[in-house]
Amino acid sequence: MMDARTAAQRLGFPPEACARFAAMDAARTKETAHVEEPVRAAESAHLVESARMVDPSHLAEQVYVDESAHMGKSARMVDPSRLAEPVQAAEAMREVGPALQLPADAAGLLEYCGVAERDRVEILAARPDAGRDPEWWALISALVGSLEREMEAPLPSTGHTAWPVVPESSTAVGMWAWAWALLANVPPLLEVHRRRGVPEAVSRATVGALGGVMGSHREIYGRSGVGLMPLWGPPLRFRGADYEIGRHSFTRTQLGLGDGVAGHLLMVHVPPTGPLDPAVSEQSIAAAARLFPQWYPDEPLYGFVCPSWLLDPQLAEYLPADSNILTFQRRFTILPLLPPSTPYEGDHELMRLALQLDPPEGALTAEDLDRIPQDTTLQRAFVRHLRDGRHFHLRIGLRQLA
């Protein structure tokens, strides 16, 4: 199969995205090498002593496959009685980490994931094929491999980077490619949910993010697919790190204080699914505080963290004190502002997530502001704030468990 870096280059991805895919391939290669080392030893033994039978106790040590090498499946020992010769052992080892297989019942899984009928029709028509679409197949394989390697891993204190957006010139297969990567991981994800005791309603709501992303993509970019949207949250959901419970979704997050993991938090997100009603919000947070210790008892919770434009205190200049947004703000201790990566970082986030508009590449111009509707308080506040030469910011809030 084509390597992911070459595939990304051929498809016109920028250099940083190509490097990211190369890193995914490198991780997969390292994992494969870890699995294949005993295979090579077994093959060598066969060449030297082809007539000898292998000592089963020795073979059992050779063919032990750990959890990471088996793509997130339970570690197991291969039955030595089935492996009379080293070559047979090698063949058994090669079954570990199979090539990408897209789900056979894709239509059923798409419906389970809350995908609208229109989008189901289009994504099924754009199903990738290894022979016809080798570049996209290689990239989907890299993304699925990353989901499998990181299955159930919490968000590290060092953070998480969204999947690369696809070039605007991408075909329909490319626009839907990342959705296929997420869909391929639904069956193992649901198995994790069952093992952890996650209710069916929570599982459905969690994977329903796929349908939501497709709807937002169409609303913001005017095109079907998911490829133009920076996918930050969906990969976390489809690897078992993020769950939707009521009004909010929550990401299992490691708390780092400079010397490894110091504790665990739940990162609170506010999906764009309607009003941020204070009572509904509190019910969601209370449910998360109760359920996560049951599902992940080895991750004792300190509290909640929320990085969001919703926590920008500047919004108080434009919104009523009893508004849902300011009520939500008051439930967190807002940390001091860190220097943003660009002056307009928060503007872009608010424009994309709150106004459901596609932000420009750089700073917003007067012409950009002229095109923003002025129907809501938030729309008017956004335009006025930027016309005054100011910027909105992403802020981080903390909240301890009650």
Neighbours of 43 (CB within 10 A): 16
**Residue-level pLDDT at 27:** 86
Considering only residues 292 and 98, tell me which one the structure prediction assigns the higher pLDDT.
Answer: 292
Those residues whose C-beta lies under 8 Å from the C-beta of residue 203, and which sit 6 or more positions away, are 190, 193
Q: What is the Cα–Cα distance from 247 to 242, expressed in whole angstroms?
A: 14
Q: What share of the chain has pLDDT > 90, as a percent?
A: 76
Q: What is the Cα–Cα distance from 75 to 93, expressed in whole angstroms?
A: 13
Neighbours of 18 (CB within 10 A): 20
**Residue-level pLDDT at 274:** 87
pLDDT at 22 over 50: yes
CA 88 to chain centroid, in Å, comes to 37
**Residue-level pLDDT at 53:** 37
Among 68-82, 275-289, 305-319, the minimum mean pLDDT is found in 68-82
**Residue-level pLDDT at 31:** 62
Global pTM? 0.81
Q: What is the Cα–Cα distance from 210 to 184, expressed in whole angstroms?
A: 12
Among 92-96, 284-288, 299-303, 334-338, the minimum mean pLDDT is found in 92-96
**Residue-level pLDDT at 260:** 87
Residue ranges and CATH numbers for the domains of the chain are 4-94 (no CATH), 99-236 (no CATH), 246-402 (3.40.630.120)
Those residues whose C-beta lies under 8 Å from the C-beta of residue 256, and which sit 6 or more positions away, are 156, 157, 158, 262
Q: What is the pLDDT of residues 386-396, one digit of tens each?
A: 999 999 999 99
In the predicted model, what is the mean pLDDT of residues 101-129? 97
Tell me which range, 94-103, 118-127, 250-259, 272-281, is most confidently predicted by mean pLDDT. 118-127
pLDDT at 32 over 70: no
